[in-house]
Every structure is written in structure tokens, then in C-alpha cells.
């Protein structure tokens, strides 16, 4: 009998291990589930419950889902949609349909968590995409050839890309939390999109505009601890960058090969990662407007190279190691800026540093001239170098509205309210409140 005891113990251990293994749900994308155009679920055994045009998860799902039906709501019901990590799999594939709402689900380990292709009028909200490094998606939410979609109130963490748009128009990206991506929000060949009231932190590129992405609005966002806060390049033009809080990055805003953009009312501070941070940097760009920004405590406040025919007016440029640096940059006009406790450097550049009399030029904290007639303008010019002179320096700082402080919170609240209204209208149309 004793000779059989070790054998029985071994059998018992193996049986216990096998039983435990059988209880573990396999985490792999073994196929594709379908919400068919006729409303049916394929296969019918999938853990999705249908109630009219509302499709609700009843358990975690480890397959991709293809949505072929328009005017539908996909409610994750707090469950997980998880793939194997293969780049060939899409979590939710929404293509050639319209008016799909996706909500209340965690999506991880896919090539793209939610894929919108040639589709419009969809709403994505209250979705968690990614998580840990082993759960991340290559891309959280991907749009291609898609328009008039609303993406709001989602959490995206540690995806290689958070939200990406290619050849997509008129989409709203509102009040999302995007953390630790190589690219937080990226646009290519995409125009007339709105990026509003998002929290974008610890990414490589916070917001990236490239390849002819024009007429986009980036406003009221909190953008912190990114390598590039907002990076516009490859002929992206006519974009508005308004009322953002951009801090603690290496480059706050960088325009490269970009023209006719407006940068106004932003708080651009403490961008000095690696002791070489830039508030606003621009190269090979022209006809841009930079006004009413607070550019403070950066290593380089503004840094221009091959930058021309632009207006830099009404900015508070204070306590930077270098307030303004210009290299091979001419034909620009600087006026009504407050240069406080900065150095200004110009190399092979010739610019205008005032707006004539009586409008005046800039305030310089180290100006030691007089104002005998009390007109608020110094009696002697402020000389930067032989080719750059402020002929009408201001005696007291120019009054710049505290635009970011009074603008960002109301904008965030307005954006959130609008997002809720959009959702309610969509659910009312589908008969569910």
C-alpha cells in the first residue's frame, strides 16, 4: 500500500492543477463576433444581450467585435473586451456604418481598441483603453476617413498611440484623459477637428499635427510633462491653439514648416525638461500670430529659426533664461510684450519691435530711460543690437488679460455639458434614456 501513496499524491496534484487551469478563461482573440446589419448577433452564443438596438455585454469577451448595424448602442456594462496583443486585431471594428454609441467598457491588448473607418456620427464615451504595459493597445481609438464623431470622457493609458486621426474631418475630442503614450492625440491629413478640454500628460507628443492637417482647434486642454506639448509640422496650417495650459515639457509648442496658425491665451510655463526646455519654438514657418500668452519660467521663452512675417504681440514673457532668441528670422513684428527678467538674443535677424507712436513698443524690465512727458513711452529707444531697436519702449507693463485663468474652466464645463447633451440626444433617438 505504501508504494502507491506517492503515485496517488502525484495524481491528486495533477488533477488539482488541471481543474484550476480549466477554470481560467483563455485571454486570446480566437475569432470575430458580429453585430450583423439585420441586428442579429453572430454567433448567438456570444455574451451579448440584445434589446432592440441596444447590445449589452453579459460577460468579458476575448474576441474582436465587428459592428455592421447602424443606429446601435454597444454597452460594455463594465466588462472587458480583451485581445491577444496582435496588431492585426481590432477590438471594436466600426466601418461603413453610422450613429453607433460605444460606452462603459474596458478595451485592451488589441492593435486598435476602437477602429472607426468610413463612418460618421458615432459617439465613444466612458471607455477605458489600455492600462498596464502588458494590457496596452497599439492604438486606443483610430479614425480613418471618418467624420462628425464625438469622443469624450474616455481614459487612455499606456497605449502606443492614444487617439489617432487619418483623413478625418469635423470630429470632436473632448474631456478625455490620455496618459503615457508615444503620441497622445495625432492627426494626419485631418482638418476641422476640435480637441477640447482634454488632460494630456506624460506622453511623447501630447498633440501632434502633421501632413497637411489644417483648420483644427486645440483649446482649453491641460497638457503636461510631455516631450512635445503641441507639435505642428509638415505644412499644417490655419490651426488655432487657444487657452491651453502647457507645462513641464521639453517643448511647449513647436511649429515646424507651419504657417497661418494662431497661438493665443495659453499658459506656457516651466517647460525646462533636461534644462533645455522651450515655451514656443518655431522653425521654417511664417505668417503666424502669437498673442496674449503667458510664457514664463521656461529655459527658452520663444525660440525662432527661419521664422518670418509673423506677429508676436501682447505676451507676458517673464523669468525665462532666454526670453526671445532669433536665428535667421526677419520680418516679424514684436509689440506690447512684457519682457521681464529675460535675456533677448538676435542673430542675423532684423525685426520691428514696436507698433509706432502712440501705440508703443514693448515693456523691458531692464530699461532705464525716462518719460519726461508722461505719455507712457520712454524718451530713448531700447536697443537690442544694431539691427533691432524698440523705438517706443513702454514705461509700465502692458495690461494683458488673464485669458487662461478665466477661460479654461468655463470652457471645460461647457465642453462637458455639450458632450452630455450629444449623448442624451443620441439615446433619445434610439429610445433609451
Q: Which domains does the chain have, with CATH numbers?
A: 34-421 (2.160.20.10)
Q: Are 411 and 221 in contact (CB under 8 A)?
A: no
Q: Nearest-CA neighbor of 94 among 127, 125, 69?
A: 69
Residue 427: all three cell numbers together = 439615446
DSSP string for 121-133: S-EEEEEEEE-ST
The confidence score (pLDDT) of residue 132 equals: 84
Report pLDDT for 220. Answer: 98
pLDDT in the model for residue 318: 98
pLDDT of residue 433: 37
pLDDT digits (tens, 9 = 90+) for 245-261: 999 999 999 999 999 99
**Residues of the chain predicted below pLDDT 70:** 1-30, 274-275, 403-433
The pLDDT of residue 405: 44
Report helix, strand or coil for 229.
strand
Encode pLDDT of 55-96 as tens digits.
999 999 999 999 999 999 999 999 999 998 887 789 999 999
3-state secondary structure of 250: coil
Instruction: Give CA–CA dist 357/373, Å, rounded.
Output: 14
Q: What is the pLDDT of residue 31?
A: 80
pTM: 0.88
Cα 232–chain centre separation: 12
Pairwise CA distance, residues 186 & 236, whole Å: 12
Amino acid at each position: 500500500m505504501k508504494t502507491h501513496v506517492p503515485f496517488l499524491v502525484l495524481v491528486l496534484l495533477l488533477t488539482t492543477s488541471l481543474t484550476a487551469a480549466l477554470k481560467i478563461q483563455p485571454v486570446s482573440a480566437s475569432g470575430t463576433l458580429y453585430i450583423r446589419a439585420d441586428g442579429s448577433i453572430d454567433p448567438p452564443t456570444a455574451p451579448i444581450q440584445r434589446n432592440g438596438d441596444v447590445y449589452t455585454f453579459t460577460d468579458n469577451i476575448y474576441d474582436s467585435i465587428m459592428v455592421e448595424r447602424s443606429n446601435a448602442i454597444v454597452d460594455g456594462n463594465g466588462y472587458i473586451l480583451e485581445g491577444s496583443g496582435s496588431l492585426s486585431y481590432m477590438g471594436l471594428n466600426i466601418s461603413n456604418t453610422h450613429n453607433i454609441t460605444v460606452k462603459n467598457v474596458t478595451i485592451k491588448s488589441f492593435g486598435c481598441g476602437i477602429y472607426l473607418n468610413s463612418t460618421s456620427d458615432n459617439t465613444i464615451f466612458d471607455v477605458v483603453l489600455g492600462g498596464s504595459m502588458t494590457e496596452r493597445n497599439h492604438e486606443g481609438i483610430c479614425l480613418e476617413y471618418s467624420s462628425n464623431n464625438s469622443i469624450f470622457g474616455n481614459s487612455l493609458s499606456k497605449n502606443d498611440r492614444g487617439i489617432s486621426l487619418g483623413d478625418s474631418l469635423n470630429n470632436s475630442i473632448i474631456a478625455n484623459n490620455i496618459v503615457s503614450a508615444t503620441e497622445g492625440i495625432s492627426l494626419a491629413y485631418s482638418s476641422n477637428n476640435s480637441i477640447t478640454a482634454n488632460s494630456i500628460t506624460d506622453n511623447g507628443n501630447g498633440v501632434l499635427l502633421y501632413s497637411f492637417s489644417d483648420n483644427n482647434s486645440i483649446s482649453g486642454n491641460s497638457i503636461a510633462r510631455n516631450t512635445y506639448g503641441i507639435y505642428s509640422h509638415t505644412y499644417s496650417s490655419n490651426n488655432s491653439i487657444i487657452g491651453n495650459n502647457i507645462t513641464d515639457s521639453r517643448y511647449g509648442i513647436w511649429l515646424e514648416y507651419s504657417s497661418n496658425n494662431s497661438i493665443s491665451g495659453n499658459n506656457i510655463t516651466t517647460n525646462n525638461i533636461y534644462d533645455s526646455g522651450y515655451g514656443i519654438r518655431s522653425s521654417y514657418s511664417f505668417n503666424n500670430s502669437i498673442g496674449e500668452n503667458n510664457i514664463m519660467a521656461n529655459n527658452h521663452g520663444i525660440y525662432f529659426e527661419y521664422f518670418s512675417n509673423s506677429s508676436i504681440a501682447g505676451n507676458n514673457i517673464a523669468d525665462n533664461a532666454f526670453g526671445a532668441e532669433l536665428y535667421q528670422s526677419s520680418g516679424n513684428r514684436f509689440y506690447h510684450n512684457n519682457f521681464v527678467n529675460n535675456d533677448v538674443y538676435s542673430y542675423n535677424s532684423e525685426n520691428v519691435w514696436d507698433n509706432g507712436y502712440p501705440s508703443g513698443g514693448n515693456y523691458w524690465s531692464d530699461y532705464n530711460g525716462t518719460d519726461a512727458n508722461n505719455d507712457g513711452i520712454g524718451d530713448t529707444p531700447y536697443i537690442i543690437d544694431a539691427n533691432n531697436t524698440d523705438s517706443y519702449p513702454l514705461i509700465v507693463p502692458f495690461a494683458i488679460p488673464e485669458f487662461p485663468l478665466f477661460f479654461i474652466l468655463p470652457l471645460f464645463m461647457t465642453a462637458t455639458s455639450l458632450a452630455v447633451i450629444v449623448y442624451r440626444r443620441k439615446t433619445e433617438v434610439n429610445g433609451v434614456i
